[in-house]
Structure 1
């Protein structure tokens, strides 16, 4: 058994774009680069920080890294947030060079009124509307999974979309409706259907803490062959305090069959006591909870990497997607706090991740972890302003290039919200 250790390998960090406006990608769960590693998706905004409202515009486009990072705009949207952007992503399974992002519409009769998505073909310049906003698109680009972002705005505001009514007063939502949940949408036709309802989740291996709680799902991810889905089922009686969130890691087929419970972190909640002061909770305390299940992602078609508790202790855990599947601790001695982790598709021994800001220094660490040797390589440290709120924060959210030789992050260390690329070939492909 190897003993984990940490080595420091600071790598040069290059800002993408001219830096005149602010740029960000959002989440860590997909590649910013297109198949050729030439074009890098981005959202462009005029400010580094703002409280979100439905009128704020983000431009949608990409940097051309073979043309001085020239920004090419393809559209704009008002359906976005700082944490996930507009769920902008390349359609890897579609011909040519196509991308998809969420938008607001005028269709009040849509299942989620006035929210949809757009597929844009870069070569033809043609955009095609879809009747639902996407959460994640299958790697084969045949289907997307969709949820209600207005519900997320109530339960987990950081990843939701507001509307004018919810800005005035948060709506009272059904706790676990049978009519809503995770929908699958065919990207060719726009047809959709419900595959997992909140009511079905509440009745799947139920626990008493679910009875009076509101339910939602997040972190929906599809495996590389597009055959299996993971998600987090979350519930709480107090949405204002994320330390009151309860979590389960669940997998299911894209048609809603064969649902499996891989982990449940149900636990007592003293925070629900009437005399508890939620203002005593720090911005990142929730991310450091010993019961938190977060940031699950497929390593391959049958294994999931996640930060969460199992068998009484919290670690980076690798789950096998089976009812009695093996659970393995990854990096027990050096991966000791929550992060946004992804395995390289081209160099599967390498795990890329980050940390949340240190409470004293406000620095976030970017690192690579080599599973066979147990060595963590810290490749950068990035300051973030402590004045940023939870909803407006700028996590590094590191993402691999397609060839596995570069990493892209969002960062605000120089006061501007920008995207940066680091060349990691010297570590993952040593000569």
Structure 2
């Protein structure tokens, strides 16, 4: 638990921060954050672009570990839990995982369109797999590949080699299975694949060797170390979106490995054809689909300022969103059932170690700060705790991970009175 001195410091910083800033642009809407997990042990969900809460709004998913301040080892097991939000936030263990990281956990999520199926990644001997848990029967079945993201129609997953990610971007892949192509800069055997969630049938769509041969700003980048990261499927389940990254050398220092790479954002259809470099700037970061033609991404387009940009797939047309209010990188999504008018977002810790959670209304250019949450200094680097805010499927509550009370736990805030859902 947070000691009294830390609590008072955090509270005073929060109040001071919320009372500052231009009132025409930023409105404070502080409200009590409801904690839904308790120690001992750290609890969190993972990434911001996945469904944590089931369609009924009753059950939330979460992960639990007994430590919080070191990298996972291959022997560390993550407990998967189902939280009954209508029964005192009762935690029920539904499984375990040995394939996880601090930022994205084990890709735990509800399968879209399903009222009773949950999926996460795991490890069997020297193979990464995925598990699908059926809530009603309590049965679990195994698919032969791990997943990164799921199609909105719930029929397939998209994925890549997680040991390759761990080799080149520590903390976003998994411990336990070394990258078999660690001596190769752009292996042709791995890349982007899709997997049928019913049968487990897997199709390799793109490989790193082919992607490495695509010039960047007219320059050959094949003589670099290449990998893929951050994937999403378009709302109509017809196009895939991912980041292709490369660095000139492998860095042993994990803190240094957070920088020094180049990123381009690419779309492709579900057969691996019709490839398009949607953001060739080399600066793509967090993103989400607005609709099946537009991508909402933090980037710095060539010749323009860094910010959140709405980019049209396959045309390159773009416009800046929230230039004054959203001038810092964060984990951006649209609030469901608001006609993409409301954006949910957060920031990284500022100089006072405060993380801002906020809403932004695009038509009125109004920013509403939901709260500022202190991040203790011991949560840094790979085991930092970003809020990674995500809405429930009704668009009424915001769920997030936070360490502002001294340990990694999960919380929610009701936003229904703000967004009108």
Q: TM-score, normalization: structure 1?
A: 0.87
1:275 alignment partner in structure 2 = none
Whole-angstrom distance in 2 between the partners of 1:409 and 1:173 = 38
Mapping for residues 21-420 of structure 1, pairs under 5 Å = 21-94=41-114, 96-106=115-125, 113-163=126-176, 172-206=182-216, 207-208=218-219, 210-240=221-251, 241=256, 242-266=258-282, 292-310=283-301, 311-322=303-314, 324-347=315-338, 348-358=340-350, 360-420=351-411
2:35 alignment partner in structure 1 = 15
The farther-off stretch of 48-57 and 328-337 is: 48-57
Contact 1:91/1:100, CA 8 A, preserved across alignment: yes
> 1:425 offset after TM fit, Å?
1.4
> 1:5 offset after TM fit, Å?
1.5
> 1:100 offset after TM fit, Å?
0.5
Contact 1:400/1:406, CA 8 A, preserved across alignment: yes
* RMSD of aligned alpha carbons: 1.8
2:3 alignment partner in structure 1 = none
1:286 alignment partner in structure 2 = none
Write out per-residue CA displacement over residues 147-167 of structure 1, whole angstroms, 9 at most, x where no aligned residue: 11110011111201122767x
Contact 1:11/1:379, CA 8 A, preserved across alignment: yes
Secondary structure of residue in 1 paired with 2:119: strand
Secondary structure of residue in 1 paired with 2:288: strand
Whole-angstrom distance in 2 between the partners of 1:173 and 1:15 = 45
Question: Are residues 4 and 302 of structure 1, via their aligned partners in 2, closer, same or farther at CA, if it must alter by over 3 Å?
Answer: farther
The yes-or-no answer on 1:5 pairing with 2:25 is: yes
Write out per-residue CA displacement over residues 73-98 of structure 1, whole angstroms, 9 at most, x where no aligned residue: 1111111111000000111234x400
> 1:204 offset after TM fit, Å?
2.8
Whole-angstrom distance in 2 between the partners of 1:58 and 1:213 = 34
Whole-angstrom distance in 1 between the partners of 2:362 and 2:247 = 35
Whole-angstrom distance in 2 between the partners of 1:191 and 1:31 = 24
1:269 alignment partner in structure 2 = none
> 1:226 offset after TM fit, Å?
1.2
Secondary structure of residue in 1 paired with 2:297: strand
Whole-angstrom distance in 1 between the partners of 2:274 and 2:173 = 28
Secondary structure of residue in 1 paired with 2:96: strand
List runs of 5+ in structure 2 lacking aligned partners: 1-22
Write out per-residue CA displacement over residues 201-259 of structure 1, whole angstroms, 9 at most, x where no aligned residue: 11234443613211111111012221111111111113433331111111111111111
Contact 2:59/2:84, CA 8 A, preserved across alignment: yes
The yes-or-no answer on 1:424 pairing with 2:415 is: yes
Write out per-residue CA displacement over residues 361-388 of structure 1, whole angstroms, 9 at most, x where no aligned residue: 0110000000000011111101112232
Question: Are residues 155 and 191 of structure 1, via their aligned partners in 2, closer, same or farther at CA, if it must alter by over 3 Å?
Answer: same
Whole-angstrom distance in 2 between the partners of 1:388 and 1:248 = 29
Whole-angstrom distance in 1 between the partners of 2:411 and 2:139 = 29
Q: TM-score, normalization: structure 2?
A: 0.89
> 1:172 offset after TM fit, Å?
3.1
Question: Are residues 405 and 371 of structure 1, via their aligned partners in 2, closer, same or farther at CA, if it must alter by over 3 Å?
Answer: same
Whole-angstrom distance in 2 between the partners of 1:51 and 1:218 = 19
Contact 2:163/2:177, CA 8 A, preserved across alignment: no
Write out per-residue CA displacement over residues 125-154 of structure 1, whole angstroms, 9 at most, x where no aligned residue: 111111111111112121111211110011
